Structure 1
Amino acid sequence: MREHGRKDSSLRIGSWNVGSLTGKSAKVETSYKTRNGGSRNGFGVILDERLSKEVIGVYRKKDRLIRVKLICGKEIVNVISAYAPQVGLDAEEKRQFWEDLDDVVQGVHHTKKLYIGGDLNGHVGASRDGYESVHGGFGYEGRRW
């Protein structure tokens, strides 16, 4: 992060499902609704105010995807927040979401850093078969998308 007198160039990214937060979730939800008039899916990106000067672009794709492009040190970083349709919703809506996510990802040059977070509403199961390098083995039941 480029800031006056600041030497830290680290970037911390987290993803919360606000619906599952306890304690301050009502405050976060109220603040979001006040600023955005409410939303069917209720997702977004919250940045530390010191990062606001580093944002060089925001791209929103419908009501489930947003990409924030910012400067971190000497690099350009892209952060995508996504909220996939849940199990039981229309198959066409799910297909469209994954196409939209692909479009947003393809909009980031392959040499730039890209982080994707959010609620992808997938169940990865307990089995790591074929996914040992990316799956910690802490899931439950079977895979569902």
Structure 2
Amino acid sequence: MASSSRVILESGGRNREVVGSFFRVSSLNVGTLTGNFLELVDELKKRHVDAVCVQETKWKGAKTKEANGFKLWYSGVVTNKNGVGIMLGTHLRNNVVEVNRFGDRVMMIKLVLDVVVVNLVSAYAPHAGLGDGEKK
């Protein structure tokens, strides 16, 4: 479910240094968040995930929701269809400097971690049963 990576900066020449510790990021097609939001939060906490990009939330609106130490930014146009979101642990939510929503299929959150800027993008691109124009 989660993959971990280190944030690495070039500090001149070939020298590298690790900034901070591990930053665990995951991406998950949830099918729907209705009735599953708290269960998802509990799993993320258990697995020590810092950030997760979720697809197919099926929630309408461009809003936020908080629960048990996580904050979700989400974007959806039609109830029960598509929708994307990005969830961050509370230790990261104050690092958010920008949120961009592009309909119900793409959104981006910009975080500042120490001296590094991280762009998290959640994208949902279903293609089953769609015409070529919509796929593009």
Q: What amino acid maps onto 1:69 in structure 2?
A: K
What is the rounded CA distance, in whole Å, between the counterparts of 2:30 and 2:90 in structure 1? 20
Between Structure 1 and Structure 2, the one with more strand by share is 2
With the length of structure 1 as denominator, give the TM-score of the two structures. Answer: 0.48
- After TM superposition, the runs of 4+ consecutive aligned structure 1 residues lying more than 6 A away are 29-32
Count of residues in correspondence between the two structures: 86
Q: For 2:114, which of 60, 73, 84 is the aligned residue?
A: 73
Alignment TM-score, normalising by the size of structure 2:
0.51
d(CA) in 1 for partners of 2:80, 2:99: 18
Structure 2: give runs of 5+ residues left out of the alignment.
1-18, 41-56, 66-73
* RMSD (CA atoms): 3.4
| Identity score, percent | 35
2:37 corresponds to 1:28 = yes
Alignment of 1:56-71 (within 5 A): 56-71=97-112
Query: Which residue does the alignment assign to 2:89?
Result: 48
**1:30/1:11 Cα in 2 relative to 1: closer, same or farther (>3 Å)?**
closer
Q: Which has the larger radius of gyration?
A: 1
- Cα pair 1:84 1:94 within 8 Å, conserved: yes
Tell me by how many angstroms 1:49 deviates: 1.4
Distance in 1 between residues matched to 2:39 and 2:105, nearest whole Å: 19
CA contact (8 A) 1:18 1:25 kept: no
Residue segments in structure 1 that go unaligned for 5+ positions in a row:
1-6, 96-145
